[in-house]
Amino acid sequence: MNSHLTYATPDPEGVRLLSQGLGCHPVTAALIWNRGFTSVEAARFFLNPGFEHLTDPFSMKDMEKAVARIHTAVVNKEKILIFGDFDADGVTATALIHDFLSTVDADLTWYIPHRIKEGYGISPDHIHMAAQWGVDLIITVDCGIGGVDAVAAAADEDMDVIITDHHEPGLHLPVAYAIVNPKQPDCGSGLSFLAGVGVVFYLVMALRKFFREKGVWQLYPEPSLLDFLDLFAIGTIGDMVPLIDENRVLCMAGIKQIKKKARPGIQALAKAARIDIRQLDSDDISFKLVPRINAAGRISHARICVSLLTCREISQAHKTAVLLDDLNARRQTIEREIVKNIENRILQDPSLLKDRLLLLWDSHWDPSVLGIAASKLSKKYVCPVLLLGCNGDVAMGSGRSINNINIHQALTENAHLLKKFGGHAMASGLTLAKDRLPELVSGMNAHLKAHYTETDFSKTLFIDARIKLDEISFDLALELDRLRPFGMANPEPVFLSRRLRVVSSTIIGRSHRKMLLQHSDNATGPVVEAFHFNVPEAQQGPAFYDQLAFRLKISKFKAHTPQMIIEDV
């Protein structure tokens, strides 16, 4: 096993009391303890969260101002522009606020910029466009906190701007009518973990209450907030924010809502992705729905997705979903070609990996898919990766990091070389003049050398528990399922088992190995199904494993059957 293993060390007595109090398997109790829920009461709420402890939306700075201004716009039939972003978070946030304001017949329009032609965020050019449309109020979603110039331009056009965002504020904030962003230093809501769609959902919570107080629901049917949680779940899981507290509560409710009453667009998208919506889980959202939504912005235009998610006709939704499926397949092909090209470069010139950063550029690369390629390469080569596509004198691309290496901080230290950049610790986008690329390589490597050690660049794997094969059962897998949705701050558990022999082995496709495993010292012991995906040497797989790191799931194809999904050998 190439990874450096670290192990969870829960308190044995605490685990025993949790297991006894919850009536659950000791392994499940240990996992709950490791997540910080050390009392039976706290653990019960983690497993069965409810809405009763949701934070008051009016605890967010400027929320009162924002809802009052939107109410005025609705009552006076002012034209409202919803300005969103082109990823799954921005698209779902746009659809959510649009759907809510549509219930009160607001005069609405929405706009999503083109990823390459316009780039991220609102600009003065967008303000001039809005002025031509006769817009009175702009509501940004999942963007806007960096739009100082755009908001100034809006003031010149006598337009008010309400910013809703979750990205890090800069030193200078836009002079907007209201800024609803829980990451503002003087926002005391404690909701800094929300995605953009989460901030919008809280805005809708506040608007519904404010509208009730103003008698709006005497004129229109009051909508249920449950109807918007499907969008909350997809946008939140897709944006990889911490799945804790309100995010966990509302994502769980959102997944239930999708299973029970999916909107036409999500039904159609699930069908195109070959998902049984009755068994949908957070993995299906992360690895099947979100990539298809993001593919539109990468290959075509993200406005396709807003149209899908707000669509009421199932026949039209199916046509759009098929288009997204095709765009995703094209995205995968482009991404594979880029990754293969880079791997060939490294094979021909291994010195590319001598530094602590892999920073490459090419005039043939499509900048819109480079983030996904960088993510794959960073995991494979265990280092931060920056990839850029060059168009004339300008280079544009994305970076992904590993472990606790903050790539956004490294870019901030080299901001003098950049035209534009943004993101967070593990993922960033950037634009710069092509002739500054060599300086960026030197500057980034200098930062990484000064702030990190060799240990930070080692492949690590956290083991939640060591379990024996005879402990694996459907009941245990069912209990682990109650810990979902998995994601940041609530990662899927990884287990370790020792001395396993391969009872049978089948190759699926070209590189996936399906096996039946049994403990080597017990020929009459239980046999467990296991899958090892993307193994180039699958045909020559071993007949014995001294140890295996794996995740435990319930098979979607065999009822009441647990499966091992191998992480490392």
Question: Which tens digit of pLDDT belongs to each residue from 24-74?
Answer: 999 999 999 999 999 999 999 999 999 988 999 999 999 999 999 999 999
Q: Confidence class of residue 212 from pLDDT cuts 50, 70 and 90?
A: very high
- The mean per-residue pLDDT over the stretch 283-309 comes to 95
Angle between helices 245-261 and 229-238 in degrees, nearest 10: 120
User: Where is 394: in which H helix or E strand?
Assistant: strand 394-400
Q: Confidence class of residue 528 from pLDDT cuts 50, 70 and 90?
A: very high
> Within a 10 A sphere around the Cβ of 446, how many other Cβ atoms?
13
The tokens 């918007």 sit on which residue?
A: 228
3-state SS track over 19-85: HHHHCCCHHHHHHHHHCCCCCHHHHHHHHCCCHHHCCCHHHCCCHHHHHHHHHHHHHCCCEEEEECC
Distance CA 180, CA 86 (A): 20
Query: Does residue 538 carry a pLDDT above 60?
Result: no
User: Where is 567: in which H helix or E strand?
Assistant: strand 562-568
Q: Confidence class of residue 324 from pLDDT cuts 50, 70 and 90?
A: very high
Taking the CA atoms of 114, 115, 118 and 119 in sequence, report the sign of the dihedral they define: positive
Question: Which tens digit of pLDDT belongs to each residue from 139-153?
Answer: 999 999 999 999 999
**Token pair in block for residue 259:** 């299973």
- Under CATH, which architecture does the 349-457 domain have? Roll (3.10)
DSSP state of 188: -
Instruction: Return the bridge partners of 504, or none.
Output: 516
pLDDT number for residue 557: 82
Distance CA 429, CA 423 (A): 6
Distance CA 380, CA 359 (A): 15
Helix (H, G, I), strand (E, B) or coil at 361: strand
Residue 171's contacts (CB-CB under 8 Å, 6 or more residues apart) are none
Q: Confidence class of residue 244 from pLDDT cuts 50, 70 and 90?
A: very high
Superfamily classification of domain 4-9+462-568: Nucleic acid-binding proteins (2.40.50.140)
The tokens 């610790």 sit on which residue?
A: 425
Question: Which tens digit of pLDDT belongs to each residue from 444-476?
Answer: 999 999 999 988 888 889 999 999 999 999 999
Q: Quick one: which of 132, 127, 129 has its CA closest to 151?
A: 127
pLDDT number for residue 537: 62
pLDDT number for residue 549: 95
CA angle 159, 137, 431 (to 5 degrees): 80
Q: Confidence class of residue 424 from pLDDT cuts 50, 70 and 90?
A: confident
pLDDT number for residue 539: 62
Provide the percentage of residues in the chain whose pLDDT is more than 70.
Answer: 99
Classify the phi-psi angles of 187: left when phi > 0, otherwise alpha if psi is within -120 to 50, otherwise beta. Answer: beta
Spans of all domains in the chain: 4-9+462-568, 57-253, 262-330, 349-457
DSSP state of 220: S
- The mean per-residue pLDDT over the stretch 160-167 comes to 96
- The mean per-residue pLDDT over the stretch 330-359 comes to 94
Query: Does residue 536 carry a pLDDT above 80?
Result: no
Mean pLDDT of the chain: 93
User: Where is 431: in which H helix or E strand?
Assistant: strand 427-433
Distance CA 556, CA 558 (A): 6
- The mean-pLDDT minimum among 116-120, 226-230, 247-251, 298-302 falls in 116-120
Query: Does residue 508 carry a pLDDT above 90?
Result: no
Residue 19's contacts (CB-CB under 8 Å, 6 or more residues apart) are 25, 26, 28, 29
Residue 88 φ/ψ, nearest 5 degrees: -60, -35
pLDDT number for residue 243: 93
Q: Confidence class of residue 232 from pLDDT cuts 50, 70 and 90?
A: very high
Query: Does residue 246 carry a pLDDT above 70?
Result: yes
- The mean per-residue pLDDT over the stretch 509-518 comes to 87
Helix (H, G, I), strand (E, B) or coil at 176: coil
Distance CA 138, CA 543 (A): 63
Residue 469 φ/ψ, nearest 5 degrees: -60, -35
Query: Does residue 361 carry a pLDDT above 90?
Result: yes
**Token pair in block for residue 263:** 């909107």
- The mean per-residue pLDDT over the stretch 239-264 comes to 94
The burial of 287, by beta-carbon neighbours within 10 Å (0-12 exposed, 13-18 middle, 19 or more buried), is given as: exposed
3-state helix, strand, coil in the chain (%, to 5): 45, 20, 35
Classify the phi-psi angles of 127: left when phi > 0, otherwise alpha if psi is within -120 to 50, otherwise beta. Answer: alpha
Question: Which tens digit of pLDDT belongs to each residue from 10-31?
Answer: 999 999 999 999 999 999 999 9
**Token pair in block for residue 564:** 């091992």
- The mean-pLDDT minimum among 11-20, 315-324, 424-433 falls in 424-433
Q: Confidence class of residue 240 from pLDDT cuts 50, 70 and 90?
A: confident
Q: How far is CA 429 from CA 270, 292, 341, 374, 501, in A?
A: 29, 20, 21, 11, 45
Characterize 58-84 residue by residue with b for buried, 16 or more Cβ atoms within 10 angstroms of its Cβ, and e for exposed: eebbbbeebbebbbebbeeebbbbbbb
Q: Confidence class of residue 129 from pLDDT cuts 50, 70 and 90?
A: very high
- Under CATH, which architecture does the 57-253 domain have? Alpha-Beta Complex (3.90)
Residue 114 φ/ψ, nearest 5 degrees: -75, 135
